[in-house]
Every structure is written in structure tokens, then in C-alpha cells.
Amino acid sequence: MKQSLEKRIILFSFVILAMTTLANTGLDIAVFRRDYIHEMGLRSQGLAAAFKANIEKVLALGINIRDVAGLADKCREIVQSDPEMAYCVIKGKDGSVMFVNDSSFARLDFAKSVPEDENKGMRNSNATEGPKGSYYDTMIPVRASDGETAAFIHIGFPQSVIDQKVHAVIIRSIIVFIAFLLASFALVVYFIKRSIIEPISSLLDGVTRISQGDFTSPMQELPVYELNELSLKINAMATALAAHDMALRDNYKELSATHFQLHDSYQQLEKLSLELEKSEELYKTLLDEAGDAIIILDQNETIIIANKMAEEFCGYPAAAFVGKHVSALLLLLNVENIQRFLRNIADAFSEKHLSGEVTIVNSRQEQLVGKIHTSCVTIGEQSLLQVLMRDVTKEREIITNLENSTAGLARLNRMKDSFLGLASHELKTPLTIIMGYAELLQSVMMEKLPAAAQEMINNISSAAARLDTVVKDMIDVSKIDQKQLDLKLEQVNVNALIEEIIRELHLFFVLRKQEINVTLDDALPMIRGDKTRLYQLLSNVLGNAIKFTPDGGNISVITSLRHLVPNPQTSGFDGVFSSERQPFVEIAVSDTGIGIDPDDQKRIFDKFYEAGNIEEHSSGKVAFKSRGAGLGLSIAKGVAEMHGGSIWVESQGYDQSECPGATFHILLPVEPSILTEKYIK
């Protein structure tokens, strides 16, 4: 039996270890193959996206893709830059091969790779059969300057690369599997012999001695807890009869001690009875001096107690309703729907708590609202119902006024949002016509018009362009409010983006004689974001700094990497809610401008809000204190939050003479959080 149990346990352990290790190894190989295919697909998608961007920049000049020189060489460079990539092919919409890195890949069949809708964009890697085997193909459309699809870029890698990697992993996994299985099995066999078989044998020997009448040899202590407990129980059983008489003596002593305790408890009960009488007097005093009206009912719904506040709230003396049925008080107070109120009281005797409100008319003909809270107390077979009434008349008036004010504000906010969306879309069409005709007059008929008319047309064009910017901002704000502004995520170099914006704004710095200081962290990682929207965000913040910094002032831009706990609900990410921190890129834009008042700092990101005295603002795009539509910072806040980040401002206050300046902090996550998924296109 001993050998049979040992063999069964060892065999079972070997089978379980083998199955578990084999399953885990198989899953690891499958996951590795899937992840490696996904990694290669991402690499091919990245190469295709970069190649597409370069081609579309050339096509934006109006050049036909067939006339672009060097694309075949570029295809070869892409394949040579990544040895694991097999081909790079550019095919037209009709399926003809335009450019290819190797002519042998011109015969690949991409018919199944072309999407039914050309506007769907990049296609994930799919298997494509070729003369030299199977390939994983990635396709991305190339858009011409008019937005139509001009061609398709195909970049692929052979399946043999995947097979080689998987084969190496399989060999390594088999070696690890065998080594791990042998080591684990050896440890299991040692554990079984040491912790199971040997203790059971020792326990069996001890039971054999006891069965033969040897009660003086206790069993030895065993290393296994359960088996050791069993040996202790068997030892205790042998000494149970000898200890029985001693247990009876101990029980007698405990009974005597219990008798004395009961005597002491009786004396304490008498003391508690006296204290209870004092507590009853105290309760009556507290009841009379309570701040709420309190009425006590018995099981017959008869009022037996009413405090002073109940008399004051009802306007009648307690003698007018104490000792009477509660309905008499309800009639005195002109309570509506008395039958329903009586049913609620009857239900309160069976429930622990009941809450509600009641409207009464007191003896002074004042209409009051009372909040009622009942609780049933059972003393022996008698049940008492305590009814607490609190005067909430003034509170209800305040709540009603607040609800009306809230509804009005919500209605005004909806009207504002509706007007914003309607106005922006209604202005867009006529404004496009005005700009079109103005551009036509400037380009075709300018020489035929007198000088005065030319100046007027230039003014019309300039004003229309400025109004077009305002309308676009209004449309963006409307989309942000309705969560309809989609993000097109890509890898963005924040430092390069800032340098590009500063080059665009260089003329404005020169015109305002302002000095721009840039401190960029070279170790800053790339972030995933919408480059166009991030450009819009940073341009609005830098433009704001230019406008509110006097001529000759200083503006600085600093980038750094911070590890914070993401919390999009609070600006500034000051709160810490867990130990898990994520990397964020911080952009600090500081100026030596007029500063921002603390009250304005809370509202500066609201739509159409202008800080300071609006009458002091001037016109002009970057003139000192020039006034805009008040949408730039609102758009900046919306873009930052859609990326899972935040924006806030710090300033010591507003002072046009001292110029304390302001600092705008922008936090952008390196990877977009789950909160931004609904904005990603």
C-alpha cells in the first residue's frame, strides 16, 4: 500500500508538471509568433507612413506621381535600411506598377490587398503569395493635392523571416522545457518522500503501538501540520480518562465562581435601575430642550408626549393634542390627504425608519413645510413611534430658487452652444464666397481697378481672412464641446514642433522687439499625438504671450520630462491617487508680460472670455494687448485634454507697470490614455 501510494503520487505529479510546462511553452511560442508578426507589421507601417508623407509633400505642389524622380531609388533605400523588409512597390489606382525596388516583385498579386473604399487609409499586414513564397504586405494610399488617391504604397516582409525566428524559439523552448521538467520533477519527488511518505509511515507505527496497548509511548512530532495535529489528538485520547476527574473538579470551581458573579451582577443591576431613573429624567429634559419638534405615539397612534418645539412648530399648546389620536392634530394643522398620512404612520410601526415631508398651517395661519423622520422603538411587548419634525420652509424656498437659477443657467448655456455652432456654420459659406471673389479680383482684375479700389479689396481680403480664422476657431470650439473633434495620432517630436512654430512666429518677435529663449530637453521622448492640433495649441499659447508682453520683453519656452499620476479631472496634476506614475512631457511658456489676475486665471480658458479691461485692448494680430475672439486658450485647453493632458496658468497677478508675467504649463502624455480613445480617428 505504501509503495502503491508513493508511485501514484509521483506519477500524477510527473503528468501534471509535463502538461503544464508543455502548455505554457506552446502558448509562449504562439504569443511570440503573433507579437513578432505585429512588430514587423508596425515597422512596415512606419516606413510606409514616412514614405507617404514625403511623396504627398511633392504631390501638394501639383506634380503627377509618375513624374516624381527617384522614387524607385527611394524604394530600394527603404528596403536596404531594413534588411528584414523584402520589397517596396508603388502601384497606381489601376493596379499598374509604377516604382519597385526589385523587378522580381512587380509580379506580386496585390488584387486582394486593395480596400473596397480607398478612403479607409492604411491597411494592416496580410499574407500575399509571390513567386518566392508568402509575404506579409502593408498598403497605404497616397493622396494627391486634390485629396484623391494617386497611388498605393506596398511594403512587405517574407514569411520566412517569421519562420526562422519561431524555429529558433522552438529549439530554445524545448531545451528549457526538458531542463525545467527534470528539475521540477526531482524537487517534487524529494518533497513527496520527505513531507508525505515518511510522516505517514511514522504515524502508522505509532497507531500500531497504541493498538497493542502501549499508552505510555507518545507519538513523535511530525513535520507536516495536519499529520502532527492527528498525532497530538491520538496522544490526547490516551490521557483523556485520567484527566476526566480533574476536569470535574475544575468545573465545580467554575460553578462556584459563576455563583459569586451572579450575586455581583444582581447588585450592579440595582445600581443600573437607579441610574435608569436618572436617565429618564435627563431624557425628558433633553426632549423638551431639543431643537426639533418631537412627538411620541403609542401603538394606538395616540399622542403621549410632545416637547416644547412641537408646540412652537404647530402653534398649539401640548394640552390641545396630547392624549388624543394623531388624526386630531392633523385636522388642526390642515394637513392634506390625512388618510395617506395615517397609512404611513401605521407602516412606520413595522419599519425601523420612515422619512418624508408634510405641509401644515399653524395657528398663526402660516404655511410651513416640515421634514418628518420616524423611528419605532420596541420595549418588551410595547412599541412606541418617535416622530421628529424639522422646519425646512426656508430651506425649501432656497432650494427652489437655486433649482430655478440652475435651470435658467443650463438653458442659457445650451442657447450659447447652439448659437456658437449655428453662427460658425452659417458664416462659413458666405465667407468662403467673399474670400473667393476677393482672391479673384486680386489675381485677375487687380490691374483693371483704380488704386482706391485695390486698397479696398486688399482690406476686404485681410478682414475676410481674419474673420475666417475666427469662424474656424468657433467651429473647433463647437466640435470640442460636442466631442466631435477627431485626433489623428502619430509620433510627434515636441522639440522639433516648437522650433517650427518659433520659426513661423519669428517675424512677430522681430516686430515686437521681443527676445525668445528656448531650453529644450534633448532626452525628451517622442509622443503620440495629433501634430496639427498640437501645433494649434502651442501657437495659441505663444501668440498669447506675444500679445500680452510689452515691446522689448522676454519669452521663454522650456521642455522637460516628468513622471506623474494622470488625473484629467484636475488641472495641474497636483493630486496623487496611486503609486503608478506615467511619463509626461511638460512645456512651460513664460513671459515678462502684464500678468493675469487671480480671478481671471480661473476663467481664462472659458469660451469668449477676455482677461483684463476689454476697452483697453487694441486691434491687430500681435499688437500689444490686442483683442481676439477669446477662443484661443479654450481651444488649447480642449486639445490638451483630448490628448489626456492638461494646461494651467500661474501668475502673481495683473500689473501693467511692474509686469509680473505669467507661465503657462502644458502636460502631454507620452502615450495617450484610455480617456482619449473616443477622440482618436
> Within a 10 A sphere around the Cβ of 8, how many other Cβ atoms?
10
Tell me the C-alpha to C-alpha distance, in Å, between residue 642 and each of 484, 562, 570.
Answer: 11, 19, 14
In the numeric block, which cell numbers belong to residue 105?
A: 516583385
Chain position carrying cell 509511515 = 201
- Let me know: does 671 contact 587? Beta carbons within 8 Å: no
pLDDT at 676 over 60: no
Above pLDDT 90, what percent of the chain?
A: 7
In the numeric block, which cell numbers belong to residue 304?
A: 403621549
What are the pLDDT digits (tens) for 527-575? 988 888 888 889 888 988 888 898 889 999 999 998 887 654 444 444 3
Kindly give, in sequence order, each residue whose CB lies less than 8 Å from that of residue 141, ignoring residues fewer than 6 positions away.
52, 118, 121, 122, 149, 151, 152, 153
What residues pair up with 666 in beta bridges, in sequence order? 587, 647
SS3 155: strand
SS3 482: coil
How large is the average pLDDT for residues 509-537? Answer: 89
Q: Measured between alpha carbons, how far is 594 from 612 in angstroms, rounded to an integer?
A: 10
What are the pLDDT digits (tens) for 430-481? 766 676 666 666 666 666 677 677 677 776 766 666 666 666 666 666 666 6
**For residue 361, which of 389, 341, 333 has the smallest C-alpha distance?**
333
CA-based max dimension of the chain: 133
Mean pLDDT for the chain overall: 75
Q: pTM score, two decimals?
A: 0.39
Q: Measured between alpha carbons, how far is 439 from 495 in angstroms, rounded to an integer?
A: 36
The reported pLDDT for the residue numbered 116 is 40
- Let me know: does 9 contact 192? Beta carbons within 8 Å: yes
- Let me know: does 641 contact 571? Beta carbons within 8 Å: no
Chain position carrying cell 497677478 = 653
- Let me know: does 585 contact 670? Beta carbons within 8 Å: yes
DSSP-assigned letter for residue 225: H
Across 47-61, 114-128, 145-159, 645-659, least confident range: 114-128
How large is the average pLDDT for residues 617-641? Answer: 69
The reported pLDDT for the residue numbered 658 is 83
What are the pLDDT digits (tens) for 94-150? 778 888 888 777 777 765 444 444 444 444 456 677 667 788 888 899 888 888 888
Burial (CB count within 10 angstroms: exposed 0-12, middle 13-18, buried 19+), residue 227: middle
The reported pLDDT for the residue numbered 124 is 46
Q: Beta strands 554-564 and 515-519: pairing type?
A: parallel
In the numeric block, which cell numbers belong to residue 607?
A: 469660451
How large is the average pLDDT for residues 639-658? Answer: 86
**For residue 110, which of 137, 85, 132 has the smallest C-alpha distance?**
137
**For residue 637, which of 652, 649, 653, 624 has the smallest C-alpha distance?**
649
- Let me know: does 638 contact 480? Beta carbons within 8 Å: yes
| Long-range Cβ contacts of 197-200 (<8 Å, 24+ apart) | 197/2, 197/5, 197/6, 199/223, 199/224, 199/227, 199/228, 200/2, 200/5, 200/227
The reported pLDDT for the residue numbered 477 is 65
